[in-house]
Structure 1
């Protein structure tokens, strides 16, 4: 059920496994859940957009090489381990 809020926000109802919600609340506290979920959704939308860009490029050209994927991961994530498997060129 959605209800409009000032500032362009809306309330929604989301179902998730109890253990996942418990871990989320442990990490964020009850009051930080909305901000955490909002950040996670923003991140996922950005990754989805990146996957679409890669898919469009590969459809028009050729699949990205492992070296190109590694270079992109390095640029996006620096020295930190990439959050996705290196064989997933959409990440």
Structure 2
């Protein structure tokens, strides 16, 4: 992330805060929350792109989604197993 940091006060349900704190690990709660917010911003940006694309081209049909899932599944099956690195 490398950006300059600032200190903020936020309010959230205690159960969520405790669960986040328990999962935050050595990086700490602030880093955990910052990563979660960054992921949400990425999702929001993606949703905006989808809305623009659907406004221009129409919504993606269930059939198109299934065809792309099948294509992804086939390409994953064709990849070599074991993840060997070429050096």
The two structures have a TM-score, normalised by structure 1, of 0.63
- Structure showing the higher helix proportion among its residues: 2
> How far apart, in 1, do the equivalents of 2:26 and 2:11 lie?
16
- Structure showing the higher strand proportion among its residues: 1
Between the two proteins, the alignment pairs up a number of residues equal to 69
Give 1 or 2 for the bigger CA radius of gyration. Answer: 2
> How far apart, in 1, do the equivalents of 2:19 and 2:35 lie?
16
- 1:14 is aligned to 2:10: yes
* Structure 2 runs not aligned, ≥5 long: 77-87
Q: Which has the higher contact order (CA 8 A, sep 6+)?
A: 1
* Structure 1 runs not aligned, ≥5 long: 1-6, 80-91
- Which consecutive aligned stretches of 4+ in structure 1 deviate over 4 angstroms post-superposition? none
Q: How does 1:35-74 map to 2 (within 5 A)?
A: 35-70=31-66, 71=68
> How far apart, in 2, do the equivalents of 1:20 and 1:49 lie?
24
Range with bigger deviation, 29-38 or 13-22: 29-38
C-alpha RMSD of matched pairs (Å): 2.5
The two structures have a TM-score, normalised by structure 2, of 0.65
Could you tell me which residue of structure 2 aligns to residue 83 of structure 1? Answer: none
